[in-house]
Amino acid sequence: MKADVIVVGGGIVGAACAAELALRGMTVEVLEARGIGGGATAAGMGHIVVMNDSPAEFALARASRELWLALESQLREREAFSRCGTLWIAEDDEELDAARLMRDAFAAAGVRAHMLDRAALREAEPSISHAMQGGLLIDDDAIVYAPAAARWLLTRSTRIRVSTGCAVRAVDADDTHAVVTLATGDRRTASHVVIANGLAAPDLIAAVPLEAKKGHLLITDRYLGTIHHQVLELGYIKSAHHARGTSVAFNAQPRPTGQVLIGSSRQFGTLDPAVEIDVLATMLARATRYLPGIGGLNAIRAWTGFRAATPDGLPLIGPARFPGDRLWLAAGHEGLGVTTSLGTAKLVAAQMLGELVPFDMPATHAFSPRRFARAHADG
């Protein structure tokens, strides 16, 4: 099979792109250096969450979540999809005000969200500290086991061929076709190449502005009913935007197995995958503030991963460079790769095929990889 499109990267974003392009009738070859669903996809929480840090992010996350919800009936037990909702916890009056602003923004966009007072919060999540003032419940947010979901997406069409253990050394293109050179020296051609290999994208496209954000996660033994929603502190949003240093924020998820997945941390300036005990201890101390009983649970594993972040916090989705728009980027999603993977795939396919964007997206140029080149030229 000679591919119409080669997708470099078999994580959740690459798998979503492959599935969408195959659905459009294109033959797709996926080249993955390790295994399908590895890397950041395997390291993350698999939270499908609407975020509204910017109009572009809000539109992409909202549309992508709807695409995930439409797949709910097709996903199998192994994908561990659950529409558990997201509960943002407010510790004080200032955070309650922030929650109300978020609720109003969501309501204006048709996203179901409602405030919980202290009594309603205790009823929804009895394990949460009674010192918390209330919260905001986003009803239709969900979770999924992303590595299994990536594999499932790649089985949806016979037009997709997957090659694992297949590292890519270089990509190039002219006006008529794109060329991929493998680490073995073999070359493969296609009409288009989609580069969706996260932090490795700058190895293939020069000057792609991606930086690693290291994160820690920990999972417990099985304790059914400890929490019922994905629960986060409202301060998580501030933590996610720290530009330097180390930060932690409370974030916990009920797995369908009964386990509790606990996060999270952010660190810059390191590619060392080792679990750092001091960071993990700080993260767990933060979690104890919100879930006082968490220290009594048995932890069975901790690990780290690396988010691929851009300078402005928005992903790179679209043509990578001139000429010919044969090379495409789908990378830099930071902590929203699982959420926005399906929407990203729709955007890539629409741009590649010259179609209108299939959902309400006020500013697709906000994701253009060329925005940084333009900013550099303007500077």
Same domain, yes or no: 226 and 194: no
Task: Output the pLDDT for position 321.
Answer: 73
Domain of residue 226, residue span: 86-139+211-309
Domain boundary residue, one of 285, 309, 333? 309
Same domain, yes or no: 232 and 301: yes
Same domain, yes or no: 126 and 215: yes
Domain boundary residue, one of 249, 276, 309? 309
Domain boundary residue, one of 291, 309, 327? 309
Please determine, for residue 339, whether its predicted confidence score (pLDDT) is greater than 60: yes
Question: What is the per-residue pLDDT across 177-199, written as a single tens digit (0 to 9) for each?
Answer: 999 999 999 999 999 999 999 99
Task: Output the pLDDT for position 69.
Answer: 98
Same domain, yes or no: 374 and 230: no
Q: Domain for residue 234, yes or no?
A: yes
Asked if residues 228 and 124 have their Cβ atoms less than 8 Å apart, the reply is yes
Question: What is the per-residue pLDDT across 344-368, written as a single tens digit (0 to 9) for each?
Answer: 999 999 999 999 887 777 666 899 9
The closest of 65, 68, 13, 6 to 39, measured between CA atoms, is: 13
Please determine, for residue 375, whether its predicted confidence score (pLDDT) is greater than 60: no
Same domain, yes or no: 278 and 295: yes
Question: What is the per-residue pLDDT across 253-273, written as a single tens digit (0 to 9) for each?
Answer: 999 999 999 999 999 999 999
Same domain, yes or no: 329 and 301: no
Please determine, for residue 238, whether its predicted confidence score (pLDDT) is greater than 90: no
Task: Output the pLDDT for position 323.
Answer: 52
Asked if residues 178 and 7 have their Cβ atoms less than 8 Å apart, the reply is no
Placement of tokens 């104890």 in the chain: 288
Asked if residues 191 and 5 have their Cβ atoms less than 8 Å apart, the reply is yes
pLDDT grade, residue 378 (50/70/90)? very low
Same domain, yes or no: 170 and 203: yes
Please determine, for residue 243, whether its predicted confidence score (pLDDT) is greater than 60: no
Q: Domain for residue 76, yes or no?
A: no
CATH number of domain containing 274: 3.30.9.10
Task: Output the pLDDT for position 254.
Answer: 97
Task: Output the pLDDT for position 379.
Answer: 44
Residues 6+ apart with CB under 8 A from 158: none
Cα Rg of the chain (Å, integer): 21
Same domain, yes or no: 199 and 108: no
Q: Domain for residue 54, yes or no?
A: no
Q: Domain for residue 160, yes or no?
A: yes
- Residue ranges of E strands in 93-165: 113-116, 134-138, 142-143, 160-164
Same domain, yes or no: 237 and 343: no
Question: What is the per-residue pLDDT across 78-137, written as a single tens digit (0 to 9) for each?
Answer: 999 999 999 999 999 999 999 999 999 999 999 999 999 999 999 999 999 999 999 999
Count how many domains the chain has: 2
Beta strand 316-319 with 327-331 is: antiparallel
Task: Output the pLDDT for position 377.
Answer: 42
Q: Domain for residue 301, yes or no?
A: yes
pLDDT > 70 in the chain, percent: 94
CATH number of domain containing 35: 3.50.50.60
Say if residue 30 is exposed, middle or buried (CB neighbours under 10 Å; 0-12, 13-18, 19+). Answer: buried
Q: Domain for residue 22, yes or no?
A: yes
Same domain, yes or no: 161 and 296: no
Tally Cβ neighbours within 10 Å of residue 258.
Answer: 13
Region 200-206: mean pLDDT is 95
Q: Domain for residue 60, yes or no?
A: no
Same domain, yes or no: 289 and 167: no
Q: Domain for residue 74, yes or no?
A: no
Same domain, yes or no: 92 and 235: yes
Region 34-59: mean pLDDT is 94
